[in-house]
Amino acid sequence: MTSKKRDQSFTGLTTKFAKNIYATGKGKIRLAVLARDLAPLFERSTDQSTHQARPLRVLDVGGGIGQFSEFFARNGHQVTHTDIAPDMVAAAQQRHQQQGLAANYRYLTAALQELPEHLDGQQFDVVLCHAVLEWLAEPEDALPLLKQFLAPQGTLSLMFYNRDAKLMANMVFGNFDYVEADLKVKKRVRMSPQQPIAPAAMEKWLKQHQLQVCQRTGVRCFHDYLRNPEDGEAHFEQLLRLELQYNQQAPFAALGRYQHWQIKHAD
């Protein structure tokens, strides 16, 4: 990446992330959606070319405390967990040891841009990149890097912060000045993504890099528009069922605060 803009690091924010994101209703919805979407992959243990059972090779880019890749580790697949923040990697390793999964992992503390020198041409059956690109100064530049890690028949599981949904939510809540300011503020909040991505822009980037979307899901299509957030907590199981029921259907999928797209090499 040639830009002088800086990517955001989360060193020192492990506890805050665990409490404010992963342990909340919105974090539980994200985890449930990914579990449903990725089940056909992590429940599969057969090499489609040889029909021989073998563990999948999984790369988790910006894996945080490592809970998303655990679906694969529990099913016997081999995961390379990476993150730019040393304390995130340490927390993930401790978590996996406690759950008896550490034997299925190796760990790298490195930014996405540094991974090619660490991985030395390795390719993976599944590449996970969840809620990472929106924190990068130049998110488009990540796509050719992710592509080079993806095996010819592999799947890229990409989740990104949806700019269109952010605009919609702020209109619903009456933040008209913020929308007119193009969703920009004078003082950036550290826990707020700096580069929300419009799905139309992502479509264009993927096409330019010969990648194609094979499945689309909205993440938090309803949760983030509730007039009373307490209703979501009080009726969480019902809300989750409805999210899972509608989040791959138009127009609801497009309203998800995050987009989860499964991507392959273009034919």
* 25 assigned to a ligand binding site: no
Q: How far apart are the first and last CA of the chain?
A: 27
* 54 assigned to a ligand binding site: no
Q: What is each CA distance from 204 to 8, 17, 171, in whole angstroms?
A: 24, 31, 26
The dihedrals phi and psi of 105, each to the nearest 5 degrees, come to -125, 155
* 154 assigned to a ligand binding site: no
Residue whose token pair is 């679906």:
71
* 7 assigned to a ligand binding site: no
The dihedrals phi and psi of 163, each to the nearest 5 degrees, come to -60, -40
* 83 assigned to a ligand binding site: yes
**Structure tokens of 210?**
């010969």
Q: Give me Rg for the CA atoms of the chain.
A: 18
How far, in Å, CA of 79 to CA of 83, rounded?
13
Contact, 7 vs 137, CB < 8 A? Answer: yes
Three-class HEC string of 202-239 = HHHHHHHCCEEEEEEEEECCCHHHCCCHHHHHHCHHHH
DSSP single-letter state for residue 84: S
Annotated binding residues for S-adenosyl-L-methionine, written as ranges, equal 30, 62-63, 83, 130
Annotated binding residues, written as ranges, equal 30, 62-63, 83, 130
